[in-house]
Amino acid sequence: MVCIAAFIILCLISVVVAFLSIFKRDIGKKWWTVFKKAWHCVFKKVRLQKCDTNFKDDVKNTILKKVIIKHPKWVKPISVTIEIVSVLIVIITIWSIVIAVKSLLAIWVFGTCNVSQPASCSLGAEVCSIDEEEPDGFFGGIGRWFTEWGEIFAAIPDRLHAWPAENYAVGIFATSNSASVSNADGQNSGNRALDIVDPGCSICMQSYKNQLSSDFINTHNLIVMPYVIKLPDGTEKFKNSELATRHLIALALYDNAENSETNHYKMFLDRLFTEYNKDHINYQSYVQSLSAEQADKLFQSWLKDFGIKSSDITVIKDRLNSEVVNNYLAEIANMVENTIKAKGIPTLIYDNQLHSGLFKS
């Protein structure tokens, strides 16, 4: 283990030595000789052969030569310590490589280096994460670690196949154009796109604004499908997000049933994501500052602003907690969590590819 640990340390030191050798070639030649000796020893170890060099002794003697003279009794405990430290260096290095490989695979597959707690990954895409419950105890953490590996390998085939956007839209979002927010030619557009958003997610808001301000809205038939991110305890991650989602689903059903020329669904999204109240607070933030009752009254006033008749507003309000809307919420959640296996929102599907995180114009 000493020769392997020394090789690892030499690999790190070699970066500095390579720079210094530009100015002093003798330093480079000296370290290169030691490095080749370490590599030869490691190469023999990897092939399960006995190291036929005295490199291990060279390393120990280099460290111990001053101790032998001044404190001969310390030689044995320090020698043992060197062996222990060498084992730890090798274990930590192997563990670091495994974690690095796992993180890179997770980023490629899910867009986040932490499968269970995407919010804790600073390397992933900008998303509102869908976090899982923290495991209980040491063994729970070990179980979670292996489960994450299983999720990564299971999702690799999904990452490689084509992603037709229309295959992942649920119900009313797939069968009609009532939830389209695009300027493209409705369902006749070959470039369909599906944007999955949480009404309370600020990154979803910015992503939506970027889509509106780019040519994307003109080149793709964009369907926006609302989804409620839930905390591990089952409550909504963003206040009044589910209420907004229920209104969006009810509006999509209303526009479809009435065959309305006015896209009330898009009007609601635009107000929530792009407009401001009288105090110049964006409505998404403002809605999260309200109680459920206050938010409901605000949403009802929006429907009136959109020109929907009072009798129709009553129908929409009665539908909010209906079995139809409840079923849509469940179907969307199942699609996002179990079929798409998204780890964060927004999730955008277009051009037969899956994209996680903020859409950048």
- 271 and 240 Cβ atoms separated by less than 8 Å: no
What local confidence, expressed as pLDDT, does residue 3 receive? 46
- 147 with 167, same domain? no
pLDDT < 70: residue spans in the chain: 1-72, 74-75, 78-79, 82-83, 85-90, 92-93, 122-125, 138, 175-176, 183-190
State phi, psi for 223 to the nearest 5 degrees: -105, 130
Tokens of 313: 């507003």
Residue 31: Cβ within 10 Å count: 18
Residues 218 and 344 in one domain: yes
Q: Cα–Cα distance between 156 and 194 in angstroms, integer?
A: 21
- State the Cα–Cα distance between residues 86 and 150, nearest whole angstrom: 31
Instruction: Answer yes or no: do 186 and 65 share one domain.
Output: no
For residues 136 and 76, state if they share a domain: no
Other CB atoms within a 10 A radius of the CB of residue 251 amount to: 27
Apex CA 98: angle with CA 102 and CA 346, to 5°?
A: 15
- Name the residue range of residue 33's domain: 2-100
pLDDT of residue 22: 52
Q: Which pLDDT score, from 0 to 100, does residue 155 have?
A: 80
> Are 74 and 116 in a shared domain?
no
pLDDT (tens digit per residue) in 210-258? 999 988 888 888 999 999 999 988 899 999 999 999 999 999 999 888 7
Residue 244 lies in a domain: yes
Does any domain span residue 130? yes
Are 292 and 313 found together in one domain? yes
**Is the residue at 231 inside a domain?**
yes
Residue 361: inside a domain: no
User: Which DSSP state fits 268?
Assistant: H
Domain boundary among 89, 124, 158: 158
Whether 287 and 148 share a structural domain: no
* 179 within domain boundaries: yes
How many residues would you count in the chain? 361
Assess if residue 178 is contained within a domain: yes
Residue ending a domain, among 54, 70, 100, is 100
Rounded to an integer, what distance in angstroms lies between the CA atom of residue 5 and that of residue 62? 15
Residue 298's contacts (CB-CB under 8 Å, 6 or more residues apart) are 287, 290
Burial class (CB in 10 A: 0-12, 13-18, 19+), 191: middle
**Cβ atoms 329, 245 nearer than 8 A:** yes
Measured between alpha carbons, how far is 239 from 295 in angstroms, rounded to an integer? 10
Task: Tell whether 175 and 301 lie within a shared domain.
Answer: yes
Sheet with strand 347-350: strands edge to edge: 221-226, 192-197, 347-350, 353-356
Closest CA to 349 of 167, 153, 143, 127: 167
Quote the pLDDT of residue 266: 92
What six digits make up the tokens of 29?
């030649």
Distance from C-alpha of 18 to C-alpha of 33, rounded to nearest angstrom: 13
Using the 3D structure, point to which of 158, 181, 204 is the last residue of a domain.
158
Q: Is residue 207 part of a domain?
A: yes
Same domain (yes/no): 88, 40: yes
- The answer as to whether 40 is a domain residue is yes
Same domain, 286 and 222: yes
Determine the distance from the C-alpha atom of residue 196 to the mean position of all C-alpha atoms in its chain, rounded to a whole number.
14
Phi first, then psi, for residue 328 (nearest 5°) are: -65, -45
The tokens for 201 are 């997610």
Residue 114: per-residue pLDDT: 78
CATH number (domain holding residue 255): 3.40.30.10
**What is the pLDDT, as a whole number, of residue 336?**
94
Same domain, 66 and 113: no
Q: What's residue 173's pLDDT?
A: 84
The SS3 of residue 353 is strand
User: Pairing mode, if any, of strands 128-129 and 344-345?
Assistant: antiparallel
Say what the pLDDT of residue 13 is.
47
User: How many folded domains does the chain comprise?
Assistant: 3
* Domain shared by 287 and 338, yes or no: yes
Q: Residue 123's pLDDT is what?
A: 66
